[in-house]
Amino acid sequence: MKLLRYGPPGQERPGLLDADGQVRDLSEHIDDLAGEVLTSAGLSLLSRLDPATLPRVPGTPQQDLRLGPCVGQVGKFICIGLNYADHAAESGLPVPQEPVVFAKWTSAISGPDDPVRIPRGSVKTDWEVELGVVIGEGGAYIDEADAMRHVAGYCVVNDVSEREWQLERGTQWDKGKGCDTFGPIGPWLVTADEIPDPQRLDLWLEVDGHRYQNGNTRTMVFGVAQIVSYLSRFMSLQPGDIISTGTPPGVGLGQKPPVYLRPGQTMRLGIAGLGTQTQRTVAA
């Protein structure tokens, strides 16, 4: 299934994408795509619905029908840094021996095509296309062999980053990662049954039509199962938590000379089987 949330910001309703690319409303069955709805039991109930019996939502998604973040009421937005060896190299940093963990504030979450705001005073706002993992079954101390059972599905994430604030203004990354609009997710949550191998997905990103990032999740340093298991040692994972798993090379920081975003530009990014995002940059 491709599950989504549609409507104006703050008023999103749950839906799914049918085989014809039309949105069908799920409001009669669930309040939101959040929490227990994302467990295996909750998704099983949704999978038994016939999309043809659900109300059709007028409009074309991502054209005249806005899609919101594909998961609601997110408790944790956890990120993994330097998880592609070639991205670590372009950043001038060693390949990590353990996953590098940081957080984006949930207030950073936005829809897949909403504007990205360049913060006031920013001179080094950057892009990062990433595979997002959405937790379904919660748990702690999860064995790596069981980790995939805890995954509800996957989505596209743009881990927008302010590099000066991330790397030059102290020792913590978080303040350069969690600005408002720095976490577009979606367009939809693709359930795990549709992605048999998350370590074989092409991902890419363009700015103003120029392709900067071309990668594949097979080159991750730590795979999805390893990441889920590792994180569960330090925190309980709960339904609806989002894990952003790192970016391949091609970020603005790694260009020679570096290239950073400015208001009035357009980012397009996507992952095979998971859809695309398009964001216009604006001044905050």
- Asked if 162 and 124 count as a contact pair (C-beta separation under 8 A), the reply is yes
Mean pLDDT value across the chain: 96
**Whole-model pTM?**
0.96
State the average pLDDT over residues 202-216.
98
> Which pLDDT score is estimated for 89?
79
> Which pLDDT score is estimated for 88?
77
3-state secondary structure of 280: strand
At residue 103, what is the residue type?
A
- Asked if 79 and 244 count as a contact pair (C-beta separation under 8 A), the reply is yes
| CA pair distance 97, 278, nearest whole angstrom | 34
3-state secondary structure of 277: strand
Closest CA to 145 of 80, 200, 218, 225: 225
| CA pair distance 116, 110, nearest whole angstrom | 9
| CA pair distance 48, 52, nearest whole angstrom | 12
Q: Which residue has the higher pLDDT, 175 or 126?
A: 126
Q: pLDDT tens digits for 36-91?
A: 999 999 999 999 999 999 999 999 999 999 999 999 999 999 999 999 987 877 87
Measured in whole angstroms, how far is the alpha carbon of residue 280 from the centre of its chain? 17
Helix extents (H) in 98-194: 163
| CA pair distance 228, 221, nearest whole angstrom | 14
CA pseudo-torsion sign 110, 271, 162, 262: negative
Q: pLDDT tens digits for 110-124?
A: 999 999 999 999 999
3-state secondary structure of 144: helix
Closest CA to 276 of 264, 265, 266: 266
- Show the domains of the chain with their CATH numbers: 69-283 (3.90.850.10)
- Asked if 103 and 182 count as a contact pair (C-beta separation under 8 A), the reply is no
> What does residue 127 show for φ and ψ, rounded to 5 degrees?
-115, 155
DSSP 195-219: -S-TTS-EEEEEETTEEEEEEEGGG
| CA pair distance 52, 261, nearest whole angstrom | 42
At residue 231, what is the residue type?
L
| Secondary structure of 34-69 in HEC code, one letter for each residue | CHHHHCHHHHHHHHCCCHHHCCECCCCECCCECECC
Task: Report the run of H or E that residue 190 belongs to, with start and end.
Answer: strand 189-191
DSSP state of 105: -
> Which pLDDT score is estimated for 18?
98
3-state secondary structure of 25: strand
State the average pLDDT over residues 104-108.
98
CA distances from 223 to 79, 93, 249 (A): 13, 20, 17
